[in-house]
Amino acid sequence: MSLGSVVAVMVRRWYLLLAVVVLAAVGAVGTYRLVAPPYRMTGQVLLLPTARSAAMVLGVSGDAANPYLALTPGLAQTGQVIAVATMDQQVAARLASQGFVGTYVLTEITAINAPVVAVTVTGPTPAAAAKDLRLVIAEFERQLQQAQQAAGAPSGTLIRATLLTQDTTAHPVNKSRLRDGIAVGAVIIVLGALFIAWLERRSRSARHRGEHTGEAEPTLPGFEGGVVSGEVSAGVSPRVG
């Protein structure tokens, strides 16, 4: 079917098209309002060396030094490694066994030259998002200590993770339910267009059958072109006068 034919059908069936558009709008708005949005929270974790490690990095004698003066690029790389380890499937399964119900992602903050890892969780409710964030941050710290112990690092030099910032409240993710509303509206429009196409095809088939029947009208025996022929059936005499 050409584009012109489609436009002609839509113009001819404008009332159905209008009904479909209205129904799609109602479905999209209704879905947006009825579907509960997920909630998101973010926390930022800073990796810090111990005072002993800071003293070794800064070349200070003794074990006392300011850890913030020893934020080396190696700490940022460590944060990346632990972030990947925390997003492992086995770790996610362990978190789920502890009551984790949402999704999470850990990313390095590259905008600043510091070993900061952002922890973002998305949960079905604000309370669930807050709980999930605590679980993931605790798991990140556990993965950090476990990795260093497995590498045989001296106990006095272990890197520690400290919470730098954290959202106080969870924020609704309206983009998710907006996408759901648009999807529902699109489905209604597609189904409506298919219904209009089916109705148009059925109407055309009915017209074609009517035209075909009109061309092949049956004629009575003995009639040719509306004039009685000279042949008469046996036992029937022509009526005179």
Residue 174 pLDDT grade (very low, low, confident, very high; cuts 50, 70, 90)? confident
User: What is the pLDDT, as a whole number, of residue 43?
Assistant: 96
User: What is the pLDDT, as a whole number, of residue 92?
Assistant: 95
Residue 52 pLDDT grade (very low, low, confident, very high; cuts 50, 70, 90)? confident
Rounded to whole angstroms, the Cα distance separating 234 from 61 reads 138
Rounded to whole angstroms, the Cα distance separating 211 from 231 reads 33
Mean pLDDT score of the chain? 83
- pLDDT over 90, % of the chain: 46
User: What is the pLDDT, as a whole number, of residue 217?
Assistant: 47
Identify the sign of the CA torsion 139, 142, 147, 148: positive
pLDDT tens digit sequence for 191-239: 988 888 888 888 888 777 776 665 544 544 544 444 444 444 444 445 5
Instruction: Return the higher-pLDDT residue of 97 and 61.
Output: 97
**CA distances to 201, 202, 206, 209, 210 from 214, in Å:** 20, 19, 13, 9, 6
pLDDT tens digit sequence for 76-129: 899 999 999 999 999 999 999 999 999 999 999 888 888 999 999 999 999 999
Q: What CATH number matches the domain at 39-173, 2.40.160.10, 3.30.70.1130, 3.40.50.2000, 3.40.190.10?
A: 3.30.70.1130
Rounded to whole angstroms, the Cα distance separating 84 from 87 reads 5
Q: Of 133, 146, 148, 139, which Cα lies nearest the Cα of 44?
A: 133
Instruction: Return the higher-pLDDT residue of 133 and 238.
Output: 133
User: What is the pLDDT, as a whole number, of residue 98?
Assistant: 95
**pLDDT at residue 169 is higher than 90:** yes
Instruction: Return the higher-pLDDT residue of 71 and 141.
Output: 141
**pLDDT at residue 187 is higher than 50:** yes
User: What is the pLDDT, as a whole number, of residue 158?
Assistant: 87
Domain edges within the chain? 39-173
Listed range (16-20, 37-41, 151-155, 213-217) with the worst mean pLDDT: 213-217
Rounded to whole angstroms, the Cα distance separating 99 from 128 reads 9
